[in-house]
Structures are given as C-alpha cells and as structure tokens.
Structure 1
C-alpha cells in the first residue's frame, strides 16, 4: 500500500489561516469519493457537518456520522471514504503550535469524539471568515478543550494484525449478516475456533462475538447513512437479527442508544402510520 504525504497547499484554494500554525480547509465531497491512504505533517480534526465518513487507519476503522469528529495525529496514515454527500470541515494544527498551546491533552493517537452542540458551533463559526482574529483564536482553543470529552469508540472497529484473524475480519466485514459461528469461520481460513478466539481477544481487546456485533452495528450505521428511507424493521432483518427488539438491544449495547433514540439525528426513517380505512372498506 502506497502512502503519500500530502501538503496542505495541495488540498485546494479553500484554505484559511486563523493564526500562525492553525489552518482551516472546507471541502465538499460526493457519496462514493475516496481519499486514498495518505498523511500530513500537521495533526488534524476532521468533521463532516453533513454526511458520513469512514476513516481507516492501521489500527482499525471508524464510522464518523455528523455527531462525531475524528482526530488524526501528524504523519499518521489514514484513508477516508465518503458514505454520503459530505460537507467536510478540517482543522489542521502545526506541531510546534500544538505543543505550545495544548496541555494535558493526549493527542498522540487517533480517536473519535462525540461532537457536542458547543463543538459543532465552534467549528462552523470558524469557517464564517469574518476576520476577527481574537475570536478565531478563542474558538480554536475551545474546540481543542472539547476534545477532553470521553473518547467515543462505539463506531470503531479494531482490526487484528495477525493474517489469519485479519482474513476472518475481512470476511465478516464483507458480509456481517452471514458471519456465522466462529467454528465455521475458522474452518474457512484454515484455523481453529480456539485460535481465532484467542487472536481476536488479544489483538482487538474484544471477544469474537462482541467484535462481530460491533461490525454488524457499524454496518447498520453505514447503511442508514446511505439510505435514510430504511426502516428499523427492514434493517434488523437484513443484518440477520431475529427481531427488532434483538436488534435494538444490540444497537444500544454498542452505541449507548436505541435505534429510535439514534433517529434524533434524522438518520432512521420512521414508518408512516397505516391509512385509516373508510367505512366502506371496513
């Protein structure tokens, strides 16, 4: 896999500098667009105010819907896939500025943070380009302070490095609904269930069952990002759940929300009520 170091000047003319060491870039991408594996000299906070992204690094894969943002440290390889039309807003931080201005923040590894209303408005306000330098400086620092919020790993799928476990993971990710049991999967990759279970626990910090469940819920979020007309009932059936309650329970275990609560983001379609029959049809 070729990894390119991409300078900021190559990202287009939509670059704005808020102060020495901090830069903003706004881009619009269509569904299906892909940014191949690359890295930057700067650390970055990537946020899509609309649309859903998938960010992949050597550690794993994150689904990043509009209520989350991803932090990628400088010179960390990453690829980005657009699962829907996306309005990307990215803050880039030069390393000397970051070392000078941040305290007690662990920013040396990639992570996803849930975007509070405060962080959402701080980022969007930075892109208003009204020229108020002091206001921009305060907004940048406010955005960084919001990164102190708990790392949200609900949409993170850690990827094992062992070739056998990675083949198994790829099979599950390709078809989450038909992953089958661990014994069947192990036989497909020429391993044993015991070995595969041990590898997943050691390399992903999740049991194989928990890992598969997270992969299925991530697939649910991905599908909802691409087709908002999907009903919860249809999605549950497509992903192999026996019932909507079973799907809802699994969804809550991974995301901390039920599908109905998650619908507050406008991503899940609520079925329309059945039309009332006229008297002649009763």
Structure 2
C-alpha cells in the first residue's frame, strides 16, 4: 500500500491525495502516519483496525484516522482505494477521533479529484479552493455506524479476532473464556470493562458489520443470514430491521438517500 511518507517532502500541501488498486486478501500490516488519513474505497470493502476499535468500510464510506495512530487495513475483495492525508493543524481538523463517515456524491467527487492531482509543485488557486471545499464538507459529514470497540488485553484481542474472522460461529461464553485462558466470570467482567459492552452485544455488533459489508458486495440476503450466524433469513431480517429501522434489502439505498 502506498503511504504519504513514500513521496518525499509534500509539506507545502495541506491535503495530499493518492490512489491505488488492491487485490482480494491484501493486508497492510500495523503502521502509522505523520498526517491524519482519510481512507476511501470507491469500490470494494475494507476492514480497518486501530488501537481501540475495528471498522468495516463498504463502498461510499470512508474512515478518518488521526496522525500517529497505529492501524492495519485488509481487503475482502478487490479494492479501488483513494487516500487523502491531512495536515491537521493547517486544515483545522486536529482533535478528531477515528470514525467512519458517509460519503456524499459531492464529497466523493472532491476525494477523487484531490487523489489524482500532481503534487510535485506548488498548488494553484483552484486546488486551494478544492481543498477548502473538502475540509468544509468533511466537517459537516455525518458519522456512520460501522465500528466495534476493541480491547487492549491480548487474550481478549485473540478472542475478538477469532469472532471477527468467523462471525457465524456460536461459541458459548465458557468456550470463549477458555480460548482467552480465563475463568468465565473474569472473562466477562474484563471484556465489559475494556469494551464497554457485554460479549453478546459485541458479537451482535460484529455480525451487523459483517452483514453490511456483505450487503455492499451484492450477496443474497439468505446467504448473508447464514454467513453471519442466523438460522433463517427471516430471523436475520427481523434483527437487522430492529437495529437500523429498515430491512437489509433497503439499507444501502436508504443510506445513500439520507
């Protein structure tokens, strides 16, 4: 994966854009950047893990990662990536936590335009205007619900990564506690202390994230239901409707029209 630091001195540009293509199964190991980063997949689905949260980033969403935050990126399938690196002080974007944002058609056009600019020169008045529009639009963009809190304890992290890799599995609390090398009571107490929610609620959120990711790839709802651990499409649809207020068949179109 191309990084900001690979392109020499770009300090004159308050926002620098890059673009690249990645194959299915690509993984960028944990790393950080000297600038804040906006990761946007114009097509494909990314999973992004930072120090205290994991995000699913389907098409038409982007994830904001502050400078110096360790993170890793993996691609479920082929991904067309557009990345913007922000000088947080120069753009007034300092102090913003990691989060996923909705990408409107207008914001998408700005991201794509900035990602293809030639930056080995001084930027023009037009480019200054595009950057100003980008920053203003990004500040007004709503957050999107594609994250789960991650624990810091390596034993709990091991369990969480296993659940995220196989969300359809229905291991009991006792089985998960054994995987962590803890007693059940210690496991559940520490899990809630470090993530803020119980194990069942956390696994439910992971399944929702996985379902949204699969929906964005065009998978049939019945297939998705089984892939995320539900015994029937109707049970999955009812759960999804309770969580988001719309059935899975309408979710992506409802987010675009918001």
- TM-score per shorter chain, which class? 0.7 to 0.9
Quote the residue 1:118 is aligned against.
106
Q: Tell me the TM-score normalised to structure 2 length.
A: 0.81
Q: Given that residues 155 and 255 in structure 1 are in contact (C-alpha distance below 8 angstroms), is that contact kept between their aligned partners in structure 2?
A: no
Cα shift readout 1:87-136 (whole Å, capped 9, x = no counterpart): 21111123xxx31431xx55443221121222112212334649993332
CA RMSD between the two structures: 3.1
Q: Given the superposition, is the C-alpha separation of residues 188 and 126 from structure 1 closer, same or farther in structure 2, using an over 3 Å criterion?
A: closer
Q: Which has the higher contact order (CA 8 A, sep 6+)?
A: 2
CA distance in 2, matches of 1:253, 1:141: 39
Quote the residue 1:40 is aligned against.
33
Counterpart among 202, 208, 214 of residue 193 in structure 2: 202
Counterpart among 72, 78, 81 of residue 74 in structure 2: 81
Q: Given that residues 14 and 91 in structure 2 are in contact (C-alpha distance below 8 angstroms), is that contact kept between their aligned partners in structure 1?
A: no
Counterpart among 132, 137, 150 of residue 128 in structure 2: 137
CA distance in 2, matches of 1:11, 1:18: 11
Query: Please, which runs of 5 or more residues in structure 2 have no aligned partner?
Result: none
Q: Given the superposition, is the C-alpha separation of residues 174 and 93 from structure 1 closer, same or farther in structure 2, using an over 3 Å criterion?
A: closer
- CA shift for structure 1 position 236: 0.8
Q: Secondary structure in 2 aligned to 1:176?
A: coil
**Structure with larger Rg:** 1
Cα shift readout 1:161-212 (whole Å, capped 9, x = no counterpart): 2234223323322322123332342244343333322222221122221100
Query: Please, which runs of 5 or more residues in structure 1 have no aligned partner?
Result: 1-5, 266-282
Q: Tell me the TM-score normalised to structure 1 length.
A: 0.75
- CA shift for structure 1 position 263: 4.7
Q: Given the superposition, is the C-alpha separation of residues 249 and 121 from structure 1 closer, same or farther in structure 2, using an over 3 Å criterion?
A: farther
Quote the residue 1:249 is aligned against.
238
Quote the residue 1:167 is aligned against.
158
